Amino acid sequence: MGMNQTPSGERLHIAFLGKRNAGKSSLVNAVTGQKLAIVSDVKGTTTDPVYKSMELLPLGPVVIIDTPGIDDHGELGLLRVSKARQVINKTDIAVIAADCREGLGEQEQDLISLLKKKEIPYIVAFTKADLCPEIEAERKKGHTPENEVFVSSNAGRGIQELKELIGKAVSREGEERKLVSDLLRPSDIAVLVVPIDKAAPKGRLILPQQQVIRDCLDCGASAVVCKENQLEHMLSLLKENVKLVITDSQVFPAVDKMTPPHILMTSFSVLFARYKGNLAQAASGARALDYIKNGDKILMCEGCTHHRQCGDIGTEKLPAWIRKYTKAEPEFVFTSGVEFPEDISSFALVIHCGGCMLNQREMKYRLAMAGDQNIPMTNYGTAIAYMNGILERSLKPFSVLAGQKF
């Protein structure tokens, strides 16, 4: 997978925020060296967040986000402000553009408070510095915070310094996150069970499958891929050399029966729950299925916006399995992509997809929201494993690794 094919969920998300006409779009263009954003002297030119995936040296693959002004007004303006604030939930680092002649006002200070609350690193870029050299000189007489820089998009001044500040501010948290490679040693064999049905994308594997295969290869292990009806034959050929079986959640029960007890077994969804930092929460949330009653609301969340097909797991199969397990008729509410309600207090349970298309910051935000409102939250694969009585087996590889029970 080339640099320009790096999944959005694995890219660093950099959001440019600030008032209308503060020079955000010009700054985006100067930093990227591309005309990604419309530039105008008219306030409010950027009406919706603009996302652009690209490679930004020295940071590598990133998503640059240009946002509407945080001071927009009127009914439509307030909607734009709301969209700008929603961007923060998926932001790894924020750049606050502030006109150097105006400095940091109440709205920028409110924004900074919000970023601090969410523990998101930020940089203040004082724009249009070529128009106010005396202000820059006066401010630099005192103690200048390390996360402040004066820039001029027109003159190209301070842009490289801003890039370097972004590089320094990027949290290294998560760099050591592994999907599966910490469960395997060189020469180990992992068997990946991948059903090929009408929901499978024609001619390719889905992102979680691709990423797990790559992680196996990166640590020197081997990844053997087969369909569920080939698993028994594959295990008989490989015999004692198989360390781990990883399955698609939809065929969890059948794979569990075919996989001998001495071979570790889990699913792609459980791997991603750990990778996104919510395995313990997902395991706990799945157990809430035991308490679902008629009329309880369950929020079903897809991180991407793929075309729904007949037999779709999120909208059809999983709800049917839940009805069968709970012997109840809950009310299912469905969201996809960037949609996620801020108030989820009316739900008895949130069940999320694996989140392979969402970055870790966005997933953490959703998980924290559920935690703050005391709403159980799990994901597709963990729920399926629990309903089939094989959750403990699915978690065993990580219990063995960490010496803990989820």
Written in H, E and C, the secondary structure of 335-374 is: EECCCCCCCCCCCCEEEECCCCCCCHHHHHHHHHHHHHCC
Residue 209, domain CATH: 3.40.50.11420
pLDDT, position 229? 95
Which amino acid makes up residue 361? R
**How far is it, in rounded angstroms, from Cα 117 to Cα 119?**
5
Are 89 and 222 part of one and the same domain?
A: no
pLDDT, position 304? 72
Domain boundary among 236, 254, 272: 272
- Could you tell me the pLDDT band of residue 77, with boundaries at 50, 70 and 90? very low
Are 78 and 164 part of one and the same domain?
A: yes
Fill in the DSSP letter of residue 152: B
Assess if residue 186 is contained within a domain: yes
Domain boundary among 169, 191, 214: 169
Q: Are 252 and 231 in contact (CB under 8 A)?
A: no
**How far is it, in rounded angstroms, from Cα 271 to Cα 179?**
6
Assess if residue 99 is contained within a domain: yes
Assess if residue 97 is contained within a domain: yes
Task: Note the pLDDT tens digit of each residue in 129-162.
Answer: 888 888 777 777 766 678 889 998 888 888 988 9
Q: Would you mind telling me the total number of residues written for the chain in this entry?
A: 406
Assess if residue 396 is contained within a domain: no
**How far is it, in rounded angstroms, from Cα 115 to Cα 137?**
27
Assess if residue 267 is contained within a domain: yes
Assess if residue 202 is contained within a domain: yes
**How far is it, in rounded angstroms, from Cα 336 to Cα 329?**
22
Are 33 and 94 part of one and the same domain?
A: yes
- Could you tell me the pLDDT band of residue 106, with boundaries at 50, 70 and 90? confident
Assess if residue 290 is contained within a domain: no
Q: How many CB atoms lie within 10 A of CB 153?
A: 24
Per mean pLDDT, which range of 27-36, 181-190, 216-225 is the poorest?
27-36
Are 119 and 197 part of one and the same domain?
A: no
Q: How many CB atoms lie within 10 A of CB 298?
A: 22
- The model carries a pTM of 0.62
Which of 156, 92, 146 has the alpha carbon at shortest distance from 124? Answer: 146
Are 205 and 105 part of one and the same domain?
A: no
- Could you tell me the pLDDT band of residue 39, with boundaries at 50, 70 and 90? very low
- Does the pLDDT at position 40 exceed 60? no
Q: What's the number of domains the chain is made of?
A: 2
Vertex 172, ends 170 and 174: CA angle to 5°? 125
Task: Note the pLDDT tens digit of each residue in 359-381.
Answer: 777 787 788 788 878 999 999 98
Where helices occur in 180-267 by DSSP H, the ranges are 207-218, 231-238, 252-258
Are 186 and 162 part of one and the same domain?
A: no
Print the domain residue range for 47. Answer: 3-169
Assess if residue 309 is contained within a domain: no
Are 79 and 142 part of one and the same domain?
A: yes
Are 192 and 218 part of one and the same domain?
A: yes
Residue 36, domain CATH: 3.40.50.300
pLDDT, position 42? 43
Are 42 and 100 part of one and the same domain?
A: yes
Tokens of residue 134, six digits: 């005396």
pLDDT, position 365? 78
pLDDT, position 38? 44
Tokens of residue 316, six digits: 């059809």
pLDDT, position 6? 62
Tokens of residue 217, six digits: 């290869």
Average pLDDT over residues 89-96: 87
Average pLDDT over residues 310-325: 86
Domain boundary among 241, 272, 303: 272
Which of 166, 165, 230 has the alpha carbon at shortest distance from 193? Answer: 230
Are 21 and 134 part of one and the same domain?
A: yes
Are 136 and 188 part of one and the same domain?
A: no
Are 141 and 49 part of one and the same domain?
A: yes
